[in-house]
Amino acid sequence: MSAATDDEALAAYALIRANVARDHYTAARILGRWASGEDGMAFAAVVASSAAIILTREAAGDRDGALRAADAAVQVSQGLAVAAYERGPADTRAA
């Protein structure tokens, strides 16, 4: 895998920021530009690396603290996915 370009790295940080801000329009535009075609997997790797850098910096360089934060995020995400699955599609609920 080649090193990320400056533009690719900036787009990765912008995508992370857009998601934190719940700015779905901007996130979709960034993904549409960078995560499509042959370079999509490379961009995913850049986003993951960028997120790891942010987590580690926010944990004041404590890698274990960054891992705890990442684990907590995964648990929240899994909890949301399970809750959505248990609710089922909105159009199949009884009125």
Do 1 and 45 form a contact (C-beta atoms < 8 A)? Answer: yes
Q: Which of 73, 74, 77, 15 is nearest to 43 (CA)?
A: 15
Query: What is the Cα–Cα distance from 61 to 16, expressed in whole angstroms?
Result: 19
Record the pTM: 0.67
Per-residue pLDDT of the chain (95 residues; tens, 9 = 90+): 456 788 989 999 999 999 888 899 999 999 999 988 888 888 998 998 898 888 888 889 888 988 888 888 888 878 877 888 888 876 555 54
How far CA 87 is from CA of 4, 15, 77, 78, 81, in Å, comes to: 40, 29, 15, 14, 10
